[in-house]
Structure 1
Amino acid sequence: MDNTPAQGLNRALTLRSVVVFGLAYMTPMIVLGTFGVVAESTGGAVPTAYLLALLAMLFTAHSYGKMAAAHPVAGSAYTYVRRAIDSRVGFLVGWATLLDYFFLPMVIWLIGGAYLQAQFPGVPLWVWIVGFIVLTTALNVRGIRTAQRANDLLMAFQVLVIGIFIALSLRHVLVAEGVGTLAGSAPFANDATTLAGISAGAAIAAYSFLGFDAVTTLTEETIDPKRTMPRAIVLIALIGGGIFVAVAWATQLAHPGGTFDEPDSAAFGIARTIGGDLFSSVFLAGLVVAQFASGIAAQASTSRLLYAMGRDAVLPRRLFGRIHPRYRTPALNILLTGAVGLIALRLNLTTSTSFINFGAFVAFTFVNLAVIATYLRERRAGRRPGLLGSVIAPAIGATIDIWLLTNLDSKALVLGLVWLAVGICYLACLTRGFRTPPPELTFEEEHHALPERV
């Protein structure tokens, strides 16, 4: 009797489920958390910065969609690059991405804990962080369906808070300025707006889009992934970007310009102005819920990337390539991600956040290059894929991602390059001085590992 199928991940996610996971990972309320910083950079033109960032990210989202359709397995950028370009390059991209995936849940839990400690200063920060980790780990170990149902409820509340924030902002503007203000162009451009300022703001705003790519790690748990994943990736970028622009527009109307006493917490002051103390408390609850939902999605994605690399034996298979026999989740990877999150007890937000962006933009760049490499391979095989979608669009996406990468702060670049150097040393040992390719999953293993289960 062949029990191999029971070892695979469970296909249970629909298009809607994948989109909700992606939006939870992006955390739509993050636009309010960073509003003050972006407003200062743009001179009070936050929605324009988000429009530019959305346009930039759509090129990369398009490339992720093409690669997800061509390679409907877990692993995201790691898998796409190793199959389209080279297995060693793919490993290094996966290694760089681990920096992003491992540290993002930590940052999410750290932010959530900081919000709660600000409201309840008598409770130590570590209590909130450990609470976040325990709850999200338990939900993710139980299975993708359990995490999905929790995410649905948390996202609904987050969207409700966003809707109330927009409504109160518009009411505040109508009472103070009249209906004519709603049709003005001031939120998008004013006397203080410059191209350099908008570009700087877009570079910050682009970080809010990290997450549309992460859902590709759920490919093996998605129904009809070749059709569902490309649609989900673009929808996540579009819906998330639309929410960012709408919220930024309403908030910029309620608070014109880019001057704040405390730019890092500007949205709290705006929430109190438009809705009083009651709504500021609801707003805080929304931010905490948003971080919890994002933590569930981020931890789930991290564990799937580790599973893909463990199954390929580029990481120890016995540890990373295992599936829980009952819950059919990579339970050890989920527990490991939670354990790594405890490092947040010893780090501040600035230090931990600096790890994230390096890996994200390395992955974005190489996925765009993987699309171009696939095009060249198809041409050599006598096929003629479309030039626009297979070369021009990914080339634009790669150029934008390289620009974003080089504009990271020096600490992020140094830490990222050190992490990459460690990965190169590990790869040299794994491949006997780069003479052999890293281990790779065979077709037969992959076929048996991916049962179609609804």
Structure 2
Amino acid sequence: MSTDAAPTVPVLRRSLKLWHLILYGIIIIQPTAPMSIYGVVSNAARGHVVTTILIAMVAMLLTAVSYGRMARVYPSAGSAYTYVAQELHPLAGYIVGWSMLMDYMLNPIICAVWCSVAAQGMLPQIPYAAWVLAFVLVFTGLNLLGVQASARVNALLAAGMGIVVAVFLAFAFHYIATVLHPVGWAWLAPFYDPVTFSVSRIFHGTSIAVLTYIGFDGISTMSEEVENPRRNIMLGTVFTCVAIGLLSAVEVYAAQLAWPAGWHFPPALVDTAFVHVGLRVGGRFLFFLLNLTLLVANMGSGIAAQFGAARLLYGMGRDNALPKRIFGVISPRTGIPRNNVLLLGGATLAGALLLSYERGAELLNFGAFIAFMCVNIAALVHYRFRSKEKVRLAVTIPLLGFLICGFIWLHLTRDAQVLGAGWIAIGLILYFAMHRRRKSRR
């Protein structure tokens, strides 16, 4: 008699180790993360870029612990929206999700701005608006085709960026040692310069510098594929923040030492300040190498962010959080949420023509910090009041994370806070309108 075994349902294999998670996190965030925002942060913090990077790292480490702890509770979700909706209130979860949508929409905008400024720096005869249109068409066109970079390509790009970082550091420290010859206190000036130091300016700069770490929470999405997720998700998130923070601090430390005459970059240079530091220490070779590297990095980030935003809009439309007939539709021919991609393409074009890189980055961080603060509170509520599992510093870590993130959030510019609050208000109007419509249909 035959005894045929029942077919098994394929499941995700827990094959990833801790070092896989750390590598994945570094790939998401990118080794060149602080280079694009260097000039903006330098102007905001009066040259104390290293200090802002390290303060932001402390805030992100505390928040990373909260993300790691919540990934234990919801190992398949990996979403701030889920954590907050389940632990606090569905409306709070919606506000976090709406804030995340703003992040997704702004990311391709600031990437298009940076790419256009960098490309115009290499080919100034072509107008800025033409570059914006070209990059937005590339972002949108590739997403309409459903093109995504594979994990292997991302790993190769990250390795290439790591090599470029090493090349820059070699040129920078050679220039510093052979041309500038700093002595004594000059070596510590990037951390603290009494002439330009200002606490309020430091935290204003930190509110932008945190963009360096955006993406670390993506590690929580690997919960179903990692060995011992209850331990390794948190460690992977924390170690990724430390690795990116220390590497970023070294990069901007070298840049600040190499540009000691003045921390303020004029408007024409502010968005691409780091590549002009490269021009000083390594000539045209390093200038073009950094430009090309950051161009590729920002293009990849812009395409990926637009891809994610289209899927987030589709999910909200499918769940009737947004009009389903517009946002919850998939093209039968390509299997792509075409309406969303086209709408995002139009929004990216308009935003890149209207917003500066600094304003876009601040608005992006407005939404990110709302998510970070709410995840910290969700972790506090769960492990202090609901969970039987005991964890160390169940109140202290998330409370400090919330307070530091809140303090940095308050140091965003008034314009960013007003525009961000306006975005939240629009989201709430949509939420209550959809809720009222559903009640009237019952």
The TM-score normalised by the length of structure 1 is 0.79
Q: Is the 8 A contact 1:44 1:257 kept in 2?
A: no
Q: Which amino acid aligns with 2:302?
A: G
Aligned to 1:32: 35
Aligned to 2:139: 133
> What does residue range 255-266 of structure 1 map to in structure 2 within 5 Å?
255-256=259-260, 258-260=262-264, 262=266, 264=270, 265-266=272-273
Match 1:65 to one of 65, 68, 71: 68
Match 1:105 to one of 104, 108, 119: 108
Partner SS state of residue 29, structure 1: coil
* 5+ long unaligned stretches in structure 1: 437-454
Q: Is the 8 A contact 1:20 1:155 kept in 2?
A: no
Aligned to 1:385: 390
Alpha-carbon spacing, 1:414–1:46, altered in 2? closer, same or farther (3 Å): closer
Deviation at 1:82, TM superposition (A): 0.4
Deviates more, 1:181-190 or 1:151-160: 181-190
Aligned to 1:252: 256
Match 1:118 to one of 112, 117, 121: 121
Aligned to 1:373: 381
- The alignment of Structure 1 onto Structure 2 pairs a total of residues equal to 423
Alpha-carbon displacement from aligned partner over 1:10-52 (angstroms, at most 9, x marks no partner) = 9998866765564455344342333344345555443222212
| Whole-angstrom CA distance in 1 between matches of 2:225 and 2:346 | 27
Aligned to 1:447: none
Q: Is the 8 A contact 1:126 1:345 kept in 2?
A: yes
Q: Is the 8 A contact 2:112 2:299 kept in 1?
A: yes
Q: Is the 8 A contact 2:70 2:83 kept in 1?
A: yes
Deviation at 1:329, TM superposition (A): 8.3
Deviation at 1:407, TM superposition (A): 1.5
Alpha-carbon spacing, 1:329–1:152, altered in 2? closer, same or farther (3 Å): farther
Alpha-carbon spacing, 1:22–1:317, altered in 2? closer, same or farther (3 Å): farther
> What does residue range 313-328 of structure 1 map to in structure 2 within 5 Å?
313-315=320-322
Q: Which amino acid aligns with 1:47?
A: V
Aligned to 1:163: 166
Deviates more, 1:78-87 or 1:115-124: 115-124
> What does residue range 248-397 of structure 1 map to in structure 2 within 5 Å?
248-256=252-260, 258-260=262-264, 262=266, 264=270, 265-303=272-310, 305-306=312-313, 309-310=316-317, 312-315=319-322, 337-338=344-345, 340-344=347-351, 346-350=353-357, 352-378=360-386, 383-388=388-393, 390-397=394-401
Deviates more, 1:113-122 or 1:250-259: 250-259
Deviates more, 1:369-378 or 1:340-349: 340-349
The TM-score normalised by the length of structure 2 is 0.81
Alpha-carbon spacing, 1:371–1:322, altered in 2? closer, same or farther (3 Å): farther
Alpha-carbon spacing, 1:12–1:44, altered in 2? closer, same or farther (3 Å): same
| Whole-angstrom CA distance in 2 between matches of 1:427 and 1:385 | 36
Identity of aligned residues (%): 32
| Whole-angstrom CA distance in 2 between matches of 1:72 and 1:336 | 32
| Whole-angstrom CA distance in 2 between matches of 1:12 and 1:294 | 27
| Whole-angstrom CA distance in 2 between matches of 1:190 and 1:346 | 36
| Whole-angstrom CA distance in 1 between matches of 2:16 and 2:334 | 15
| Whole-angstrom CA distance in 1 between matches of 2:31 and 2:365 | 18
| Whole-angstrom CA distance in 2 between matches of 1:136 and 1:19 | 28
Partner SS state of residue 194, structure 1: coil
| Whole-angstrom CA distance in 2 between matches of 1:362 and 1:240 | 22
Alpha-carbon spacing, 1:433–1:89, altered in 2? closer, same or farther (3 Å): farther
Alpha-carbon spacing, 1:278–1:335, altered in 2? closer, same or farther (3 Å): same
Q: Which amino acid aligns with 1:275?
A: G
Alpha-carbon spacing, 1:422–1:102, altered in 2? closer, same or farther (3 Å): same
The answer as to 2:410 corresponding to 1:406 is yes
Q: CA RMSD in A?
A: 3.9
Alpha-carbon spacing, 1:214–1:384, altered in 2? closer, same or farther (3 Å): closer
| Whole-angstrom CA distance in 1 between matches of 2:325 and 2:377 | 32
Q: Is the 8 A contact 1:15 1:232 kept in 2?
A: yes
Deviates more, 1:234-243 or 1:350-359: 350-359
Alpha-carbon spacing, 1:193–1:182, altered in 2? closer, same or farther (3 Å): closer
Q: Is the 8 A contact 1:307 1:333 kept in 2?
A: yes
Aligned to 1:441: none
Aligned to 1:176: 179
Aligned to 1:194: 197
Alpha-carbon displacement from aligned partner over 1:47-67 (angstroms, at most 9, x marks no partner) = 222212211211111111111
Alpha-carbon displacement from aligned partner over 1:404-447 (angstroms, at most 9, x marks no partner) = 222211221111111111221222133339989xxxxxxxxxxx
| Whole-angstrom CA distance in 2 between matches of 1:39 and 1:298 | 26
Partner SS state of residue 395, structure 2: helix
| Whole-angstrom CA distance in 1 between matches of 2:56 and 2:238 | 14
Alpha-carbon spacing, 1:135–1:225, altered in 2? closer, same or farther (3 Å): farther
Alpha-carbon spacing, 1:375–1:220, altered in 2? closer, same or farther (3 Å): closer
| Whole-angstrom CA distance in 2 between matches of 1:111 and 1:172 | 27
Partner SS state of residue 259, structure 1: coil
Aligned to 1:451: none
The answer as to 2:431 corresponding to 1:427 is yes
Q: Is the 8 A contact 1:147 1:296 kept in 2?
A: no
